[in-house]
Amino acid sequence: MKMSAAAVALAFALVLANFADQSHGALQEGFYKGKCNVDVEKTVSDIITPLVGQKPWITPALLRMQFHDCFVNGCDASILLDGSSSEKTAIPNLSVRGYDVIDLVKSAVEKRCPGVVSCADVIVMATRDAVAASKGGWYRVQTGRRDGLVSLAKNVNLPGSSISVVNSAAIFNSKGISTEDMVYLLGGHTVGLTHCSFIKNRLYNFNNTGSTDPTMQPGLAFFLKLKCPQTSTVDNTVDLDQGGSSAGLLGQPTSEIVDNSFYKQIVFRRGVLGIDQALALNQLTKDTVNKVAISSNDYFLTKFQQAMVKLGAVEVLTDTQGEIRKTCRATN
């Protein structure tokens, strides 16, 4: 049956309208262009870049914050909300740092462009700039997120440092992140520290055997035991990067630089956390690890940056969902 010209035009219009509905409110690069009288991303960068130079711990702190935020209710800045039972109070988040850094950036952005830029976007932009300031390269990020209204400690269920590769991959996959991208994201462990309490089991009582994890290089185990005595009541910290830097195959740690040293060290069984070492041994992930370890640093940085963009798109709120907070620690 032939359709009239009017009917064809109406059908075409409906298709276009449906397509517009599907794409409306999606994340995009440069979302704030034309919405503010200032360059929002430059405003963020002008604060973060010098701060990282003074306080290198900001980079691993913000990487961890973005991961912890995006894996609980999506990238909605719910981790920033204060409250007696908010996500901040959950055990995995008690050691999260960098809230004051986000407050500083949000305050500056609000003064220049009030009520427009979300806290969720501030986390993503600030993390990108921190990575860039730590020699991890600058990359484009999508913006347009809105802030969540709910933050509950009971919703926090994050993969721990001793989780198996299979279980970790299942969690990442459930968030729409591939196992390969999980490997790239865990490369963020090339910067920062961990506490002895997270690795004492590997050092002294692996799987209740009363001995050291056999997958850990003996030299590394010896050094870590000096840093983390079995009977110590002080929870010392150790660098997650214990060698395998770009300066040499097993050179000085580069715990303040985002590079592919993480993969080189775990190939040589120098992974500090259990999940890190397991990546180099498990059939699901070892080929990806080996590829990054033998490739150029630029190869890793490209893969890491792409994976960070994907992480930033997990279960986001857009359009009229949620709100744009005036301050990141409380809903409006």
Active site residues: 68
Q: Which residues pair with 238 in a beta bridge?
A: 194
Distance CA 172, CA 174 (A): 5
Q: Three-class SS string for 191-219?
A: CCEEEHHHCHHHHHCHHHCCCCCCCCCHH
Q: Is 117 helix (H, G, I), strand (E, B) or coil?
A: coil
Tell me how far apart the alpha carbons of residues 185 and 306 are, in angstroms, rounded to a whole number. 9
> For residues 191 and 197, what is the distance between their CA atoms, to the nearest angstrom?
18
In this structure, the number of other CB atoms found within 10 A of the CB of residue 75 comes to 28
Strands (E), the chain: 28-29, 142-143, 193-195, 237-239
Rg (CA), the chain: 22
Q: Is 271 helix (H, G, I), strand (E, B) or coil?
A: coil
Q: How far apart (Å, rounded) are the C-alpha atoms in residues 50 and 82? A: 27
Tell me the C-alpha distance between 99 and 61, whole Å: 9
Whole-angstrom distance, CA of residue 172 vs CA of residue 118: 25
Pairing of strands 237-239, 193-195: antiparallel
